[in-house]
């Protein structure tokens, strides 16, 4: 008995120490990232002041990068390209960041450029989020996004969601800033009575989704099962398209009603909504009969699967195209909450967007 008691104490000790180690590593990583950003901002300001005003000749940055490698063999992160990124990092953000917001213990002595400073409160400029985002993500945002508010949006998303560079590139390519919570065609207004649940439901879905991992020349010429299998094989990326709060339950989810078998294409659970979410995949244009079938599935989910403490199930018909009027009339007399969204595949994207997305093989490696 005593041995078992000691053994349990050891197990608890391991858990406690492990937790402390992980917390310490996380804190150290955050602090290290913060110090790097301060250093890069400082170097960027120094390079900006000397290179923009003609103090340095041509190829100065390349020469300096080579000199740093000679002085500090094995130094990483200070290539000529990255030093130019540091200069961009400083020049793009210095008009908005008060010098007091970035402690100056690592600042290089230089004369700042004559910027017109926009005074921002700490609440307006999310400095904590800013300092939590990695430099490569900062460079990606500055390179792809020009609007100030949109940049802050992606900074907050990176900080809160711990986005990798590939995740960030994906959401920029699908234009998340303009599409988040933008689903237009739902029947939520007359099927959801709880205002908070309705608001969250409207915010959780978009009008159009970028399913770039579906690499089919013409989705209208293939069976829905082919599209479904592409999603299942890339389920991590599909969830990424909808948000981290979605948990995958299964595909061809089986429902038995009075001895009859029915199958839902894709079933998820949303932690944010505390609701089951059923997706019906359609290869072509939306048809009115889809709503009746989905309404039945949602009734069955609420009857047999939903837990008492969960909100009513929600359905999304994901199709290639739709007529707004036909969707509106189809939803008019339905009783279960549902919406219609469309999707695009990789073959439909402009070349500049296709180039911005991670390669298919890279996506597969994530799985």
Alpha carbons 157 and 236: distance in angstroms, whole number? 18
Q: What is the pTM of this model?
A: 0.54
- pLDDT over 60 at 358, yes or no: no
Predicted local distance difference test score (pLDDT) of residue 332: 92
Q: Confidence class of residue 115 from pLDDT cuts 50, 70 and 90?
A: very low
Q: Confidence class of residue 6 from pLDDT cuts 50, 70 and 90?
A: low
State the average pLDDT over residues 191-215.
83
* Range in 116-125, 149-158, 238-247, 280-289 with the lowest mean pLDDT: 116-125
Q: What is the pLDDT of residues 8-58, one digit of tens each?
A: 776 776 777 777 777 777 677 778 888 889 889 888 888 888 888 767 777
Angstrom distances, CA of residue 82 to CA of 76, 138, 357: 10, 12, 21
Q: What is the pLDDT of residues 210-266, one digit of tens each?
A: 776 665 555 455 566 777 777 777 777 777 677 668 888 998 999 999 999 999 999
Alpha carbons 153 and 366: distance in angstroms, whole number? 25
More confident residue, 2 or 285: 285
State the average pLDDT over residues 94-123.
50
Predicted local distance difference test score (pLDDT) of residue 141: 97
Q: Confidence class of residue 359 from pLDDT cuts 50, 70 and 90?
A: very low
Alpha carbons 62 and 65: distance in angstroms, whole number? 5
Alpha helices of the chain — where are they, by DSSP H? 2-51, 60-71, 80-93, 127-132, 135-144, 148-161, 165-173, 176-179, 188-191, 195-204, 224-233, 235-242, 289-300, 324-331, 351-356, 360-366
Which of the listed ranges 37-46, 107-116, 203-212 does the model predict with the highest average pLDDT? 37-46
Q: What is the pLDDT of residues 162-172, one digit of tens each?
A: 889 998 998 89
Residue 83: what are its φ and ψ, rounded to 5°?
-65, -40
- pLDDT over 90 at 345, yes or no: no
More confident residue, 173 or 352: 173
Q: Hey, what CATH topology would domain 187-351 get?
A: Trna Endonuclease; Chain: A, domain 1 (3.40.1350)
* Range in 102-111, 137-146, 204-213 with the lowest mean pLDDT: 102-111
Alpha carbons 85 and 117: distance in angstroms, whole number? 21
Reference 280, options 334, 226, 317; nearest CA is 317
Q: Confidence class of residue 181 from pLDDT cuts 50, 70 and 90?
A: low
Which contacts (CB < 8 Å, 24+ apart) does range 104-109 have?
106/35, 106/38, 106/39, 106/42, 107/38, 107/42, 107/45, 108/42, 108/43, 108/45, 108/46
> Where in the chain do CATH 3.40.1350.10 domains reside?
187-351
* Max Cα–Cα distance, the chain, nearest Å: 83
């Amino acid at each position: 008995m005593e041995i078992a008691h000691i053994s349990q104490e050891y197990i608890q000790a391991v858990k406690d120490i492990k937790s402390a180690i992980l917390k310490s590593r996380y804190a150290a990583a955050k602090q290290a990232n913060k110090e790097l950003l301060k250093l890069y901002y400082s170097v960027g300001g120094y390079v900006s002041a000397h290179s923009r005003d003609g103090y340095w000749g041509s190829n100065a940055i390349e020469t300096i990068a080579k000199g740093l490698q000679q002085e500090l063999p094995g130094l990483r992160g200070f290539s000529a390209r990255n030093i130019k990124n540091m200069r961009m990092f400083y020049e793009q953000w210095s008009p908005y960041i008060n010098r007091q917001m970035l402690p100056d213990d690592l600042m290089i002595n230089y004369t700042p450029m004559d910027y017109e400073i926009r005074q921002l409160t700490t609440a307006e400029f999310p400095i904590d989020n800013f300092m939590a985002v990695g430099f490569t993500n900062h460079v990606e945002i500055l390179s792809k996004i020009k609007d100030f508010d949109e940049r802050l949006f992606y900074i907050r998303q990176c900080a809160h969601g711990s986005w990798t560079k590939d995740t960030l590139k994906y959401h920029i390519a699908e234009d998340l800033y303009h599409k988040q919570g933008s689903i237009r065609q739902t029947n939520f207004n007359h099927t959801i009575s709880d205002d908070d649940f309705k608001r969250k439901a409207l915010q959780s879905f978009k009008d159009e989704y970028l399913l770039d991992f579906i690499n089919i020349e013409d989705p209208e010429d293939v069976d829905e099962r082919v599209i479904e299998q592409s999603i299942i094989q890339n389920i991590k990326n599909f969830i990424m398209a909808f948000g981290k709060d979605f948990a995958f339950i299964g595909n061809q989810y089986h429902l038995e009603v009075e001895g009859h078998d029915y199958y839902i294409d894709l079933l998820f659970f949303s932690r944010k909504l505390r609701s089951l979410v059923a997706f019906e995949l359609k290869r072509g244009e939306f048809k009115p009969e889809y709503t009746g079938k989905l309404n039945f599935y949602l009734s069955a989910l609420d009857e047999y699967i939903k837990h008492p403490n969960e909100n009513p199930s929600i359905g999304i018909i994901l199709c290639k195209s739709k007529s707004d009027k036909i969707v509106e009339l189809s939803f008019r007399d339905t009783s279960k909450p549902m919406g219609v969204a469309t999707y695009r595949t990789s073959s439909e994207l402009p070349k500049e967007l296709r180039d911005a997305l991670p390669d298919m093989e890279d996506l597969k490696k994530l799985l």
